[in-house]
Chain A
């Protein structure tokens, strides 16, 4: 059942803001409190908001379980792959091979208080993004399944 026009417009405006805020939390995981899990959970709440505002059937036309399950699998495989990539440079599993190298995410950080540079922390942001994508897909799938009872109660 669709809710009123005010709720739908509000959800339309809030959904991109929620997704961007979640991606901000994921991207700044190595500078501020937060990280992959928290950012993914924030994005999943946006999915719940859209389902409440619109009907279940309408939302699942573009928020399909196939894409979300793919997101989950890609996130987990990306996380494991980021750990496995350390073997390519001759290090142990989960070694932070990008930190302090000067390349991508490789700026060195001095000890103590410093202005947070986004281009730091080596392999940690990559893993943050992988976990964020995984939690985004996984929690949204759980919400879709739990609200799938709305499907039977009429449009």
Chain B
């Protein structure tokens, strides 16, 4: 009974939060658009890239992509460590 009450109250709070968000912020028309407008107006001339997403990901926000690649690299190093351990620790052809 108590568990049901907790779940109900949490659901009510969540619904209220989302409803308030939906009332406050209208979908599709953000309030602050200076950065988006700058990218859309100057992206093609500054980066010479027709794809605006690639221009942002690889040029304006290159550091983020560098971090993303590093995270992928570390994740694969970790996965290979775990699987090497699970295979009994014997020598493989990539040692």
Given A35-B57, A64-B94, the answer on whether A94 and B76 have CB atoms closer than 8 Å is: no
Contact partner of A107 (CB less than 8 A), chosen from B48, B59, B63, B72, is: B48
Interface stretch (choices A1-9, A14-22, A48-56, A124-132): A124-132
Contacts A35-B57, A79-B66, A138-B73 given: A96-B94 contact, CB under 8 Å?
no
B10 an interface residue at 8 Å Cβ cutoff?
Answer: no
Q: What total of chain B residues lie within 8 Å of the partner, measured CB to CB?
A: 32
Residue from A111, A128, A138 within 8 A of B44 (CB atoms): A111
Q: How many residue pairs between the two chains, A and B, have CB atoms under 8 Å in the bound complex?
A: 119
CB-CB < 8 A to B63: which residues of A? Answer: 94
B45 to chain A, nearest CB (A): 6
Interface size range of chain A in the complex: 35 or more
| B50:A114 contact, CB within 8 angstroms | yes
Complex contact A33–B94 (CB within 8 A): no
Interface residues of A in 52-82 (CB under 8 A from B): 60, 64-66, 69, 72, 75-76, 79-80
Closest to A137 in B: B76
Chain B 21-70 interface residues, beta-carbon cutoff 8 Å to A: 41, 44-51, 53-55, 57-59, 62-63, 65-66, 68-70
Closest residue on chain A to residue B62 by CB atoms: A94
Task: Determine if A109 and B44 form an interchain contact, defined as CB atoms under 8 angstroms apart.
Answer: yes
Q: Which secondary structure dominates where chain B touches chain A?
A: helix
Cα A76 to Cα B80 in complex, Å, equals 17
Asked whether B54 lies within 8 Å of A128 as measured between CB atoms, the reply is: yes
- Bound-state CA distance A153–B26 (Å) is 57
- Does A135 interact with chain B (Cβ within 8 Å)? yes
B79 near A142: Cβ-Cβ < 8 Å: yes
* Chain B residues within 8 Å of A, Cβ to Cβ: 41, 44-51, 53-55, 57-59, 62-63, 65-66, 68-70, 72-73, 76, 79-80, 83, 87, 92-94
The 28 sampled A-B contact pairs (Cβ below 8 Å) are A29-B51, A29-B54, A30-B54, A30-B55, A32-B51, A35-B54, A35-B57, A35-B58, A37-B68, A60-B93, A76-B69, A79-B65, A94-B59, A108-B45, A108-B48, A109-B45, A109-B50, A111-B44, A114-B50, A121-B47, A121-B54, A123-B58, A124-B58, A135-B72, A138-B72, A138-B73, A141-B79, A148-B83
